[in-house]
A and B are shown apart, each in its own frame.
Chain A
Amino acid sequence: MAAPGKALTVGEQIQQLNNARKMVLENPAYYDKIVKGILPIIGPSSPIELRRWGAEFLAESLATPVLSSRDKENLTVAILDTLQLLVEGPNDDVLVFKSSVMAAASAYPIALRWIIHNSYHKESWEAMTAIKAKILQIWDTAPTPVRICCIKFVQRVILAQTASNGMEQKINGLDVSLAMIPPNHPLLDPRLLEAEAAGLLDRMLAVLQDNSSDALLVDATLNTLAILIRTRPSTSNRILNTVLGFNPLKLANSPLTPKTKVLIKSMEKTTRILLLHLHKRDPNNPMAGRIQQHIERLSRSRNEIFDDANRKRALVQPPGADYGEAKRQRTDNSAPQFHARPWVPGPQSLAAVFTLTNTPGLDGFDATQVPNELAAKITVKALATTSPQLLSQAVDAVRFRLRTLYAAAPPVQPPALNPDTQPLGVDEDDDDGYEPDYYVAEDTEQILNKLDSAPPEEPVGQAADASSALAPLGPFKLPPPPLVDPTVAIKVGQLASSRVFGPLPSLEEAAVRKHKAGINRLAASSYDRDSWLTLITRMATRSVAGLEDVSSGIKAEDARSALDRPQMSLSNMIRELLYNYVLEDWRRRIEVAVAWLCEEWYNDQVTKRGQLDAPLHYEKWALRLVDGFLNYITAQDKVLTRFLAEIPELSRALLGRLKSVCGDPTKIQLVLTTLLYLVMMRPPVREIALDTVAAIWLEYEEARPLASKYLIKWRPGFIESQQTGDAASSVMPVAT
């Protein structure tokens, strides 16, 4: 249909071509025919209008979403030669070249895929390679509108020649990637293509790396990067680092013309949107934090730049005179001057006497509306910062006013005055008869008191006489506190004691245990858990040592739980809590128990030396602790050995508790080993330990094999004496 073009004018030809295009748009089936039909007309020798139309049409045809990739393969292969001619032709027209590069960008991935599957068709790939070479050659020198299309072309090359993560849409060849190329392809070497892509990426990012201010190139580049970052993982870090290093606001250092404003805004916003987009699509990216920081920084800087511009404009408005005056004031004001409001003689309100300000608005301000605490704060702050000179000037001003007032109205005042105020010497109203300082100070105080209740309109004369009401104020007494019921007091006391344990869970273990500190160490020198526990144990043992009620102390020995007793001392409350604390996790808190018992023992020794009849605590709590552990003990709990080895004193009663454990045969070995350890390592208790072993031997059949082994070694002759049947007497004392 375009064939009879020879006789037609260019305008008519264009009209025909437009009709042909309309047909294609209506029915894509015609694409193949029509595109091939117009190729001869739009060649490099054709008139410029036809070449423009043709190049544009090729770009449109290769980009259209209507055609499938397969249809486009045919089209692309058919077009490549013409496209090569257009690209390599005279290059005299921006629009022809621009459209040709756009067409080439769409053609590249399609051609690459076609050649992957049709490696015999060398010519197509050669044409495509030639087009690529030409575009890369003119990339840096072409007019900017062509350069942006070169950028896009290069982006498509990179997209096609790097490995994909498969996240892209499968349209228009976006999904063509390095992985599609077989390693043994006769024409394509994946490694070379990948290297080429990496090089092109570097070249493409150079515009950002050089921090170019050509907004068109910068925007065009930034707006092609999203899909690379998202779908070509090998490029992501390289690109992101470059974008994060790019400063779109660099231009702001030059004078802000309307055009630079447009450019700065454009580059900043384009950068920010790209980063926002990436952040939204992949919030878990390891660089997400940096991206977000960069986004925030960009917004802030932009606001600063454009706000600054606004502020500068505002500064121009105030006339220069004001500025100069302000400056002069600052230098001249080395001695501050106080300007009180001029005083008008005649009846004045009390408030007016103290109103020194010249600002009319402040007159109407009712200071009584300000809450007291706030007023106090303001006063303190104000006094702290007021210069003494200003303050004394202000005080003088008020004094002067009051003096003139009293001087003006002496005849009215005496009868109104309360006798209580007479010692102030007001009666001697002659000017030379009074001491201004003393008089005014007192009077000021009274007036201030009065100010609290008097409406501000009240004249000074009446205000003064009301001050008499203030004189007979008696001393202020707080109401007595409510009586505390002893049981309530104890409950509250327990609550308070329990709070002592509050910090324990949150405190850290001492990081490094300083075993070598030795005798010089301080018990609680750091705020870790050990120190706190030391504090608690000492509170339990020493806080009321020697102050305890003797009688109640004796009774306490019998009490099963100290908590049941009404008159419980602070120490016992803490002891009870400490006991519970240890038993909560006794295997790990055995050290706490040992430390505590050491403190108890020491305290008992001190007590014994002083009062004879004071209550002792060590034995009682040691027994309770052992009873507590033994309920839960298992055959593996070697801590029992350790506990008994470390606590300062062992009694028969204590070891007797061990004997009862042997009722469970699984624990016999533990108990006997523990006793053996005591026999070997603690000579002072060797005898009572051996007595306990002997008692176990006697009582428990299952324990005999092991017990007899120890007894043979440490108490030779015992078993024989037992077996003869008459030597039980030596064991009897142990059996409690």
Chain B
Amino acid sequence: MDHANGSTSSQAPSQNEQGEEASTFRLKFCTVCASNQNRSMEGHLRLAQANFPVISFGTGSLVRLPGPTISQPNVYKFNETSYDSIYRELEAKDPRLYRANGLLNMLGRNRIIKWGPERWQDWQIGMPRLKHEKDKGSEGMEGGVADVVITCEERCWDAVIENLLDRGSPLNRPVHVINIDIKDNHEEASVGGGAIVDLANSLNKVAVEERDKIGAAAFDSGSAVGRSGFDERVPDVLAEWQERWPNLPATWTLAWF
């Protein structure tokens, strides 16, 4: 589960284990990349394995996978094509090529995580997700909302924020949207997946700490002592995380569902 430049972050998982014992509270995550295939799915899997409720999306107009040449990508529709059918199609086309470039391996992994790639823009935020029981990380996501959205590329972050502005935030629910720049290849996705889990653990630890402060916030009386909250501590967590992962530049904002 640990990863390449994880020497600096080796403390995070152990802290998490302690946290797990202390509380069962889990932040709900959503990972986003362009095609909901490589980076977001790596993050999805790793977060699910770390027992976080998680869903994932792509922000592209279509699912694009490399083809025999750079000008002939394999293109599929979001929400209508399953990972399994893509797997079988590519395997029939050129098993050697798609095994050698890692696509079949990736699709093989994806098809055991969930049914198929989903598009962010088509996601009905807040719609109950009860028919996804077999998806990894579906437990806890029944309400169809997330606390933290993690995108894997700046333009995906832009697309997510713009889309949220478009929707007009009807749910009145705050959501932290964090971008982590991860290059779109299998190795970087794997490193990025580890970084995402590290961030999730750090955030969850803070969230649990804040939840445990029962009754400490008598803000009505006007005392400003010890006042903080999960939302407020997100930038601190991110800054510390960025020090541990200097090669994965991050951007954060607080947006609304």
Contact residues of A with B, CB < 8 Å? 21-22, 25-26, 48, 59-60, 63-66, 90-95, 97-98, 102, 105-106, 138, 141-146, 148-149, 152-153, 156, 168-169, 171-174, 215-216, 219-220, 223-224, 226-227, 231, 257-259, 261-263, 265-266, 269-270, 273-274, 276-277, 280
| Contact between B128 and A145, CB atoms less than 8 A apart | no
Check: B251 CB closer than 8 A to any chain A CB.
Answer: yes
Check: B126 CB closer than 8 A to any chain A CB.
Answer: yes
Out of B168, B171, B243, B254, which one reaches A258, CB within 8 Å?
A: B243
Closest to B238 in A: A262
Within 8 A of A (CB), among B142-193: 142-143, 145, 158, 161-162, 164-174
| Contact between B170 and A169, CB atoms less than 8 A apart | yes
Q: What residues of B have a CB within 8 angstroms of the CB of A138 in the complex? A: 219-220
Shortest 8 CB-CB distances between A and B: which pairs?
A: A145-B229, A172-B170, A25-B128, A226-B165, A258-B239, A105-B172, A227-B168, A91-B220
| Contact between B168 and A174, CB atoms less than 8 A apart | yes
Known A-B contacts A65-B126, A263-B235; A223 and B230 likewise in contact (beta carbons under 8 Å): no
Closest to A258 in B: B239
Q: What residues of B have a CB within 8 angstroms of the CB of A26 in the complex? A: 128, 130
Q: What residues of B have a CB within 8 angstroms of the CB of A270 in the complex? A: 161, 253
- Most-contacted residue by chain B among A59, A142, A169, A226 (CB, 10 A): A226
Would you mind naming 29 contact pairs between A and B with Cβ atoms under 8 Å apart? A22-B142, A26-B130, A63-B170, A63-B173, A64-B128, A65-B125, A92-B215, A92-B218, A93-B214, A94-B219, A95-B211, A106-B172, A138-B219, A145-B231, A148-B174, A148-B231, A152-B256, A153-B172, A168-B168, A216-B232, A219-B254, A224-B169, A224-B256, A226-B165, A226-B166, A258-B240, A262-B239, A274-B165, A277-B162
B58 CB → nearest A CB, Å: 19
| Contact between A152 and B174, CB atoms less than 8 A apart | yes
| Contact between B253 and A219, CB atoms less than 8 A apart | yes
Out of A168, A216, A259, A265, which one reaches B251, CB within 8 Å?
A: A265
B22 CB → nearest A CB, Å: 15
Q: How far is the CA of A322 from the CA of B142 in the complex (A)?
A: 64
| Contact between B230 and A169, CB atoms less than 8 A apart | no
| Contact between A149 and B252, CB atoms less than 8 A apart | no
| Contact between B170 and A262, CB atoms less than 8 A apart | no
Q: What residues of B have a CB within 8 angstroms of the CB of A146 in the complex? A: 219, 229
Classify the interface of chain B: helix, strand, loop or mixed: mixed
Known A-B contacts A59-B173, A63-B173, A141-B219; A277 and B166 likewise in contact (beta carbons under 8 Å): yes
Q: What residues of A have a CB within 8 angstroms of the CB of B254 in the complex? A: 148, 215-216, 219-220, 223
Known A-B contacts A66-B128, A169-B168, A266-B252; A259 and B217 likewise in contact (beta carbons under 8 Å): no
| Contact between B231 and A144, CB atoms less than 8 A apart | yes
Out of B169, B215, B230, which one reaches A227, CB within 8 Å?
A: B169
Known A-B contacts A258-B243, A262-B242; A273 and B229 likewise in contact (beta carbons under 8 Å): no
B162 CB → nearest A CB, Å: 5
A229 CB → nearest B CB, Å: 10
| Contact between B253 and A66, CB atoms less than 8 A apart | no
Q: What residues of A have a CB within 8 angstroms of the CB of B210 in the complex? A: 94
Q: What residues of A have a CB within 8 angstroms of the CB of B170 in the complex? A: 63, 65, 169, 171-174
Known A-B contacts A152-B172, A174-B170; A144 and B251 likewise in contact (beta carbons under 8 Å): no
A157 CB → nearest B CB, Å: 12
Check: B250 CB closer than 8 A to any chain A CB.
Answer: yes
A646 CB → nearest B CB, Å: 71
Check: B124 CB closer than 8 A to any chain A CB.
Answer: yes
Q: What residues of B have a CB within 8 angstroms of the CB of A168 in the complex? A: 168
| Contact between B217 and A25, CB atoms less than 8 A apart | no
| Contact between A102 and B173, CB atoms less than 8 A apart | yes
| Contact between B242 and A258, CB atoms less than 8 A apart | yes
| Contact between A48 and B215, CB atoms less than 8 A apart | yes
| Contact between B229 and A94, CB atoms less than 8 A apart | yes
Out of A66, A169, A266, A273, which one reaches B167, CB within 8 Å?
A: A169
Out of A91, A257, A274, which one reaches B219, CB within 8 Å?
A: A91
B54 CB → nearest A CB, Å: 18
Q: How far is the CA of A605 from the CA of B21 in the complex (A)?
A: 118
Q: How far is the CA of A511 from the CA of B142 in the complex (A)?
A: 77
Known: A143-B232, A257-B239. 17 other contacts (CB 8 A): A48-B214, A90-B218, A91-B219, A92-B215, A106-B171, A138-B219, A143-B228, A152-B174, A172-B170, A215-B235, A219-B254, A220-B174, A223-B169, A259-B235, A263-B235, A265-B251, A273-B162
B240 CB → nearest A CB, Å: 7
Q: How far is the CA of A97 from the CA of B218 in the complex (A)?
A: 11
Check: B127 CB closer than 8 A to any chain A CB.
Answer: yes
Closest to A134 in B: B220
Q: How far is the CA of A461 from the CA of B42 in the complex (A)?
A: 76
Known A-B contacts A26-B128, A174-B170; A223 and B219 likewise in contact (beta carbons under 8 Å): no
